[in-house]
Structure 1
Amino acid sequence: MKAEILNLRTLHAGWSRFLLARVRLADGTEAEREIEDHGDSVGVLPYDPERRVATLVRELRVPALYAAGEQSQLEAPAGLIDAGPPEENARREVLEETGLRLHDLEPLGATYSCGGISTERIHLFLAGYRASDRVDGGGGAKGEHENIKVVEMPLVDLANLADRGELTDLKTLTLVLALRVRRPDLFAAAES
């Protein structure tokens, strides 16, 4: 027997939807499970291989403020997929948040952010850029009150944050580790 959803009840519908699912488990018993649903998203680590820096963002994350008192989180640019393919959305989000116009994207795959509660799948990308690709100051989309601060930092420092367990955003940690595996030459100073 396979698990199946018997009933879904919407508890809240806003930017996200919160649902309560009645499920029949594989062993035949029934249980309730909560679901947070807001769709797929993208996450991108823009990096300049010539200068060996990455561009990240800091912005208020109210759940992190609530859970741990953290005012902001250092993270890779990211956002929800509005319409169109993930690559198009990735380029738009990075432009809005960081002011970088990206060209080539290196896809890493799509992964559930927290499969136990959320439907969100994050399409992850690495993206090389040059200093000349900065066309704007970034800061986020007008009217969305994101108050984003753009942070360009050496890849060596970013690797050290990962090594010390100081990257608290899972997509960012994943992207940094993937870049280290795929392009260890960019982190040579951090590895020695």
Structure 2
Amino acid sequence: MAAHEIADARVIHEGRRSLVALTVALPGGKSMVREVLESPPAAAVLPYDERRRTVLLVRQFRAAALRAGGAPEPVEAIAGLVDPGETPEACIRREAMEEAGLRLGPLEPVGSVWASPGYSTERVHLFLAPYADADRTGEGGGLAEEQEDIATCEIEFAALAAMLAQGALEDMKTLALAQALALRVPALGGALR
């Protein structure tokens, strides 16, 4: 059986993310067309304070969630797109300061996952990071030029465990990071039992 091959790519919309119509040659001589959202890679982090038993999350307006009938400001892990020439680690350090005023120390890689491989090329680099109250050195809130109005949410491990148990985390990267934290940090894992 021959492998799938991209026979043609036609840009439908070009912007921060581009929409491309791909014609894919299938084994056996047939073809199909799929619309794909081309996106740069992203990075996300779930900061946690094991001593105080807290995590730091953010809320910001999400037009797609509003359009789909969901909460327009879901609770999320800190995240952002990786700029050209930037590493995922440098990206998430920049985003943590911009969004939450948080200076990150050591990063604990969790993995690199497709955001939604059925339609997007976006790959998200996931991290956990310990923090202390003293690491909250900046203003946060996001960038005015990007129309960001970001609120930080410091919540206790028990509240995060309850959100996991109730299926209340609606954002995939945040769900994955919260579950990874529960596996790696005994205090949170204990809160889940």
Sort the TM-score into its range (normalised by shorter chain). over 0.9
Note the 1:59-98 alignment, pairs <5 A.
Answer: 59-82=60-83, 83-98=85-100
1:187 deviates by 4.0
Q: How many residues align?
A: 191
Q: Please report the RMSD computed on the Cα atoms of aligned residues, expressed in angstroms.
A: 1.1
Q: Give the secondary-structure state (helix, strand or coil) at the position aligned to 1:151.
A: strand
Residue aligning to 1:178: 180
Q: 4+ residue runs of structure 1 moved beyond 3 angstroms?
A: none
1:38 to partner: Cα distance: 1.6
> 1:1-192 maps to which residues of 2 (within 5 A)?
1-82=2-83, 83-191=85-193
- Unaligned residue ranges in structure 2 (runs of 5+): none
- The share of aligned pairs that are identical, in percent, is 42
Asked whether the equivalents of residues 165 and 192 of structure 2 are also in contact (C-alpha less than 8 Å), the reply is no
Given that residues 77 and 97 in structure 1 are in contact (C-alpha distance below 8 angstroms), is that contact kept between their aligned partners in structure 2? Answer: yes
Q: Structure 2 length normalisation: TM-score?
A: 0.95
SS at the partner of 1:68? coil
Cα gap change, 1:189 to 1:138, in 2 (>3 Å): same
**1:175–1:69: structure 2 CA closer, same or farther, 3 Å change rule?**
closer
Unaligned runs of 5+ in 1: none
TM-score (norm 1): 0.96
**Which amino acid is 1:178 matched to?**
A
CA deviation string 1:72-122 (max 9, x = no partner): 110000000003211111111111100110010000110001001000000
